[in-house]
Amino acid sequence: MALTKTVTKIMPTKTQIGVHLKLEDDDHPFTEGVVMVVDEDFTDNYSDEPTVQNRAEIARKVQAKIDEYKRNKAMYLNSKYTNAVTWIGDNTNV
């Protein structure tokens, strides 16, 4: 699994700073080639001047989003999940 992360700054406001995260996966389970899996802004509010705490909070949010994608992909690829879906399909009627 090769993920590529791009983090860029977004236009700040008088009370908010942030970054834009693009996360691409070149080993996506649905589609061949590179797939954009996250394309999202992450911000934090401040009152006077941005601080190290603002930077750390934004980094925490970005990392949480990356970790969420990795967990979800691992669950999707897990054979127990595949087996459960197969069982549900085999045990329901139309």
Q: What is the chain's Cα-based Rg?
A: 19
Q: What's the pTM value of the predicted model, to 2 decimals?
A: 0.85
The overall average pLDDT reported for the chain is 94
Q: What is the pLDDT of residues 32-75, one digit of tens each?
A: 889 999 999 999 999 888 888 999 999 999 999 999 999 999 99
3-state secondary structure of 1: coil
Q: Following DSSP, what letter does each residue of 59-87 receive, concatenated?
A: HHHHHHHHHHHHHHHHHHH-HHHHHHHHH
pLDDT given at position 22: 98
| Integer Cα distance of 85 and 63 in angstroms | 29
Is the pLDDT score of 1 beyond 70?
no
Q: How many CB atoms lie within 10 A of CB 54?
A: 17
DSSP bridge partners of 18? 43
Share of the chain above pLDDT 70, in %: 99
